[in-house]
Each structure stands twice: as structure tokens, then as C-alpha cells.
Chain A
Amino acid sequence: MPNHIASGLKYLAAIELKKQGFNQQMIADELDIDRSTVSHYLNGRNLSWNSIEVAKTITNLCPKDFLIMTRTLFKDEQKTRKIVSICKSGDYHAEVTDSCIGCGLCVDLCLMKAVSLDSLKAHINSICCCGCLICQERCPTNSIKILEVNNDREYERS
């Protein structure tokens, strides 16, 4: 079952890349899957719709849950980074204040590898940031602020 959900996430990523104008070969390379599989995905011949439903729910979780769930499903940080950066539903802007001591904890914690140290200060690449807030929560000097600048998450209406 977890594998089906992981495939569901890949399906969503493939659709998203198609929207961005990638051709089938590029999508296959990007997601490290067979071109025929991509073709199946894009033509609607795919795994169970139920798995896709679950995958969609996961992408709509809060960014931290989405990230951790994806890592648990893929058990591979590089694949996790790829899926999350394609399917993330918001854009983020990070601010690091001068109280940063350069301990590098955020660099070690960031699953997206969005943080680097320069001159004893953390620098966060907003393009890579998935908004999980792990760095903000664990920063010993509360020097990190992650701001959500755009959100196209689908909220379920009840």
C-alpha cells in the first residue's frame, strides 16, 4: 500500500510537470521513472484512483506533515526533495535576523537542503524552502522567520 501512495505522488508530480510544459522524456528523467510509466500516467491508465486520492490528501497537509510523510513513503531524501518541490502548494520567503549565531543546526535539519551558512549566518534559499518550519522551530536563538507569500492549496469545504 505505501508503494501505491508513493506512485500516487509520482503521478501528481508528473501531471504537475506536464502542466509546466515538460515533455514525457523530461518528466521520466526528472522523476527517475520509465518513459512508458509516464505515458501511462498521462493517459490516465494508472494505478488505483484511491491511491491518488490519498496522495492528493498528503500534498494538501501542512507542509511539515507533507514533507515527513513523503520521506516516510520514499525512504530516500533526494526523491523526497524532488516530489515535495514539485508538488508543494505554497511559496515561502525566509528572513534570518542578526541574532543568528551560525550554529548550523538548521543546515543539518533542513530536508530540502535549502539552508547554507555564510559568514556565520544562515541563508535560506526561498525557491527550495517547502515551508515545513522545522528550522524555525528548532533555532536556538529564534532567528528564523518563514513567511508564506503565496498559497494555492486546495482546502476542503465541509
Chain B
Amino acid sequence: MIANTKEVKDEGFDIKRSAEEVRNLSFKDHICIGCGICESTCPVDAINVAEIGPIVREEVDMPKIDIDEDKCVLCGMCSGLCPVDALDFTIDSEPISNIVSYPHYISSAEIDDDTCIYCQRCEIACPRDSITIARSLPERSDLVTGEIEADEETCIHCGICDEMCPTDAIDVDRTPGEESIEIDKDKCVYCLLCKKICPVDAIKAACRICSYGDYDLNPEDAVTTGSSFIDDETCVKCGWCQEICPVDAAKVKKQYEGTLDIDEDKCTVCGTCIDVCPCDVLSFPESPGPATIVDNIHKDEQYCIHCGACERACPVDAIDVKITNVDYTPTKSKSWIDKFEALKN
């Protein structure tokens, strides 16, 4: 009578129920980080999350999660609690993040364009390649300007400036009787070498940028303009951009606050957690020398989103991730509040 339909696509799948309203749950495999929160959230146990380690290493080719469409009741909880929005839930094509009655995480990543200096450090650091910083530099020819003039009266046409000029902007004709000096302003870079080397001070010149020389000129402003873009689909709000920004233009509000502990006695330093971590929190420590064995995993906890993917993937249960605080928009539904609160363990 009322049945769900499932459509498997290249990068995930859709589960749909069309009756009084059209409910659609869309899974994006390339966004999923395999944290397993949806599996533990699902009220009808319809979700099964695969072991993520071999999948991210491309040892096996299978979807990260599977949803039994016969069990799924399309309540949208998995989507509401997915920390990275790998599951999109829409009702009549409206995402539930736009529907006030549905709660969602209060999290954000923003770059303030007024403060940003477009250094692109965040773009390079972002572990999910979510940031694009486009910048346009001022035209070099607009900045390299100045004034230059040769005084034919004083010039003795010795040709020293011609020989020294780094850009071949000066042409001195030394043929007796037809002597002349010409300066090509298109080629000149106003380095003032000619002015300094001229034995008879026949060249008057000034550089606009450094205001050095015979004229008093106002330098042009050298302003780099640009724009920043964070792809909200792939961004996991890990905080790399905020940490690395030299001018505090990037601001990140994480979904969770929490702790990450690695039990060094249990850890066998296999590196599975390093492979699964979506935000490059974990790494092998720098080896103190050749042929030395590293015996722990290094963590940069400031980038941790406490998703628990590493805890789930660790083969020897050495990792303990705890969520201590979750921020979400208010809702009247007690069952949804319970699910958000249950994340804290």
C-alpha cells in the first residue's frame, strides 16, 4: 500500500516515500565519514555502517552505509544527526534544515572577506579541500610607474646608461653629429640605475612606488582583492582554517565539544585511525631517527570534530572519543531532543 522505493546512484542512493507528502532521504557516499552516528541514532535499526578502514584505503569497493528501505520509516533522524550532512532529508523537496520544527546542529565555518588577506593558507590546509580562495593581484604595470626624462643639453651620449639598463629601455645613438638619447617608457621599470650611474646627471627620474628620485609622486595603492568560498557540502567544521589563518578571518563553530583519548598501552600503532580521520587530526609522530620504532599516535586535538570514526575503526579499542556538549536548534519534540542528548556519553 505505502512502500518506500530505493534508487541506487553512482555516489550514493535515494530512499523515497510518496503519499500525503514526498519524503526523500538521499545518501552521499563521498561525504560520509563513517562515524556510525546514524547507525546508533536510527529508531528502527534500518542503517548498517560498514567497516570504514578498508573502504577509505580502497581495499574494498562498497558503499559506506546501507539502509534497509523496508525498515526505514523516513523520519529523517539520521539526516538531522549526521555531523557532516552526508544524508539529506527533504519533505516535498524542502531540506529539513530549512524547516523550523526539525532541529539541526548549530555549526558553521565562515571566512570574513573584510579581514581576509587572501593568503590561501586555509585553502592549502583544509583536509577536505572545501575552501577556494580566488584572488586578483594588482596589475604590475599599474604599480611600476614613475617619471623619467633625459636632458639632451647635459647628456654627453657616453652610452653608459644604455649598457647598464636592465630592460633595454634606453637607446643612445653615438654616431658623431647625429648623437641622441631615447628612453622607452613602456620598457622602463624605474629602477633608477641610469640616474645613479650617469656621470653628468643628465637623467631626471623618480619611482612612484618608493617615491625615490627627483619628483614627489604619490604611490598607487597596491591592493590584493579576492573572494573566499567554503563548500558547505564537504566542509566538516574541523577548524584547520581558523587555526592557520594569520589574521583571524576564518571562524569555525563545531558541532560537538569533546575529548579524544588514545590508550597507549592498547594502541599497536597500526595507523587505521589515521586513515579514517576526516580532518587530519591523527598522524604518526616524527621518527627521531632512522630505524626507530614509533610507539604512539600523535594527535592534534584542536582539529578534532569528535565524530568517533576513529574509535569505531580502531581494531583494538584503544581510542575513546567523548562528546561533552552538543549545540542544536530548539525543538518541541522530546524524542529528537533525547537523540541529540544521547550523543553525549
Contact = CB atoms under 8 A, between A and B. Distances in A.
Binding site of A, secondary structure by majority: helix, strand, loop or mixed? loop
Contacts of A101: 43, 73, 75, 77, 333, 335-336
Nearest to B337: A98
A121 interface: yes
A103 B19 CA distance: 13
Contact of A119 (B2, B19, B23, B101): B101
A50 B101 CA distance: 53
Contacts of B170: none
B13 interface: no
Contacts of B10: none
B322 to A, nearest CB: 26
Given A104-B74, A108-B17, A141-B43, A120 B2 contact: no
A125 B289 CA distance: 75
Contacts of A118: 101
A99 B336 CA distance: 9
B74 A103 contact: yes
* Interface size bracket, A side: 10 to 19
B334 interface: yes
Q: Which of A107, A109, A119 has the most CB of B within 10 A?
A: A119
A139 to B, nearest CB: 9
Contacts of B1: 109
B5 interface: no
Query: Which A-B residue pairs are the 6 nearest by beta carbons?
Result: A103-B75, A108-B19, A120-B333, A98-B334, A119-B332, A103-B73
Interface of A: 98-105, 107-109, 118-121, 140-141
Given A101-B75, A102-B335, 15 more contacts: A98-B335, A99-B335, A100-B335, A101-B73, A102-B76, A103-B73, A103-B74, A103-B75, A104-B75, A105-B2, A108-B20, A120-B102, A120-B331, A120-B332, A121-B333
